[in-house]
Amino acid sequence: MTTGASEPLLALSNVNTFYGQAQVHFDLSITVARGHIVCLLGGNASGKSTTMKIILGLVKPRSGNVTFDGASLIGLTTPQIVRRGIASVPEARRLFADMSVRENILMGAFVRNDREAVAQDLDKMLTLFPKLGQRLSQRAGSLSGGEQQMVAMARALMSRPRMIVMDEPTMGLSPLYVDRVLELIRAINQEGVSVFMVEQNASLALEIAHEAYVLQTGKIVLSGPARALKDDPRVRDAYLGGSEAA
Amino acid sequence: MSSWLDYTINGLIVGNVYALVAVGLALIFGVSRLINFAQGSIYLVGAYIGWVAVVQLHTPLPLTIIVVAAAAAIVGLIIERFGLRPLQNSVRIAPLLATIGISFVLDQLVMLTFSPNPRALPSQLPDVRFQVGGGTIGPLDLLIAGVGLTSALLLFVFLRYSKLGWAVRAASQDRDAAMQMGVDVNRVNQAVFGIAAALGGVSGMLVGMYYNQIDTAMSLQATLKGVVAEVVGGAGNVPGAVIGSLLLGLVESYGVAVFGTSYRNLFAFLLLVVVLVLRPNGLFASARQAPPEPLTGTFIAPSRPVRIPWWALAVAAAGFAVLPLFPVSFYVLQTLINAWLLGMLALSLTLVAGTMGQVSLGHAALLAIGAYTSALLSLTLNVPVGLAVIGGGLMSAALGTLLISPSFRLRGHYVSIATLAIGEIVSLVILNWESVTRGPIGISGIPPLSVFGYDLISPTSIYWFSFAVMVVLALLQGRLLTSHLGRSFRAIRDDDIAARAYGLSLNRYKSLAFIFGGFAAGISGGIAAHLYSYINHETFNTQQSILALTVVILGGLGNVVGAMLGAVALVGLPEVFRIAAEYRILIYGIVLLLLVRFRPQGLLGTM
- Total domain count, chain B: 2
User: What is the pLDDT, as a whole number, of residue A89?
Assistant: 93
User: What is the pLDDT, as a whole number, of residue A2?
Assistant: 44
Write out chain A residues lying below 8 Å of B169, CB-based.
96, 98-99, 103
DSSP labels, B145-164: HHHHHHHHHHHHHHHHHSHH
Mark whether B216 and B349 lie in a shared domain: no
Three-state DSSP class for residue A165: strand
Structural domain includes residue B247: yes
Strand pairing class (A10-19; A63-68): antiparallel
Mark whether B341 and B272 lie in a shared domain: no
Mark whether B375 and B249 lie in a shared domain: no
Write out chain A residues lying below 8 Å of B288, CB-based.
141
Q: Which residues contact B51 (CB under 8 A, 6 or more apart)?
A: B114, B119, B121, B208, B214
Percentage of chain B exceeding pLDDT 70: 97
User: What is the pLDDT, as a whole number, of residue B376?
Assistant: 95
Where does the pLDDT of residue B451 fall: very low under 50, low under 70, confident under 90, or very high at 90 and above? Answer: confident
Residue B37's Cβ-count burial label (10 Å; 0-12, 13-18, 19+) is: buried
Mark whether B252 and B350 lie in a shared domain: no
Chain segment A186-202, per-residue pLDDT in tens: 999 999 999 999 988 88
The answer, yes or no, to whether residue B289 has pLDDT greater than 70, is: no
The answer, yes or no, to whether residue B1 has pLDDT greater than 50, is: no
Structural domain includes residue B68: yes
CA dihedral A184, A186, A187, A190 (to 10 degrees): 160
Among B418, B171, B400, B175, which Cα is nearest to B280's?
A: B418
Mark whether B258 and B187 lie in a shared domain: yes
Mark whether B400 and B260 lie in a shared domain: no
Most confidently modeled range among B207-221, B321-335, B364-378: B364-378
Mark whether B47 and B161 lie in a shared domain: yes
Mark whether B121 and B195 lie in a shared domain: yes
Write b or e for each residue in B395-415: b if 16 or more Cβ atoms lie within 10 A of its Cβ, otherwise e.
bbbbbbbebbeebbbbbbbbb
Three-state DSSP class for residue B297: helix
Domain spans of chain A?
Answer: 15-85+164-169+193-246
Where does the pLDDT of residue B398 fall: very low under 50, low under 70, confident under 90, or very high at 90 and above? Answer: very high
In chain B, the largest separation of any two C-alpha atoms, in whole Å, equals 79
Structural domain containing residue B18: 2-278
Among A62, A105, A60, which Cα is nearest to A81's?
A: A60
Residue B179 near chain A (CB below 8 Å): yes
Flag if A96 and B177 touch (Cβ within 8 Å). yes
User: What is the pLDDT, as a whole number, of residue B560?
Assistant: 92
* Average pLDDT score over residue span B103-122: 91
Note the Cα B371 to chain centre separation in Å: 20
* Average pLDDT score over residue span B214-223: 89
Three-state DSSP class for residue A10: strand
Flag if B179 and A96 touch (Cβ within 8 Å). no
Three-state DSSP class for residue B433: coil
Among B33, B10, B16, B8, which Cα is nearest to B152's?
A: B16
Mark whether B400 and B262 lie in a shared domain: no
User: What is the pLDDT, as a whole number, of residue A187?
Assistant: 92
Q: Angle of helix B185-211 relative to helix B39-51, nearest 10 degrees? A: 50
Probe site for chain B from A94, A164, A165 (most B CB atoms < 10 A): A94
- Closest-CA distance of chain A to residue B247, Å: 24
A114-118, B260-264, B576-580, B600-604: range with lowest mean pLDDT:
B576-580
Q: What is the rounded distance in angstroms from the CA atom of residue B300 to the CA atom of residue B549? A: 13
User: What is the pLDDT, as a whole number, of residue A242?
Assistant: 46
Q: What is the rounded distance in angstroms from the CA atom of residue B360 to the CA atom of residue B378? A: 29
* Average pLDDT score over residue span B123-152: 84
Mark whether B55 and B143 lie in a shared domain: yes
Please answer whether residues B344 and B473 qualify as being in contact, where contact means their C-beta atoms are separated by less than 8 angstroms.
yes
Residue B155's Cβ-count burial label (10 Å; 0-12, 13-18, 19+) is: buried
Write out chain B residues lying below 8 Å of A155, CB-based.
181
* Average pLDDT score over residue span A94-121: 93
User: What is the pLDDT, as a whole number, of residue A5?
Assistant: 56
Chain segment B165-180, per-residue pLDDT in tens: 999 999 988 888 999 9
User: What is the pLDDT, as a whole number, of residue B287?
Assistant: 42
Structural domain includes residue B535: yes
CATH topology for A15-85+164-169+193-246 is Rossmann fold (3.40.50)
Note the Cα B413 to chain centre separation in Å: 11
Percentage of chain A exceeding pLDDT 90: 62
* Average pLDDT score over residue span A92-100: 89
Residue A97 near chain B (CB below 8 Å): yes
Please list the alpha-helical segments (H only) found in A21-144: 48-56, 78-84, 101-107, 115-128
CATH, residue B229? 1.10.3470
Residue A214's Cβ-count burial label (10 Å; 0-12, 13-18, 19+) is: buried
User: What is the pLDDT, as a whole number, of residue A245?
Assistant: 37
Where does the pLDDT of residue B413 fall: very low under 50, low under 70, confident under 90, or very high at 90 and above? Answer: confident
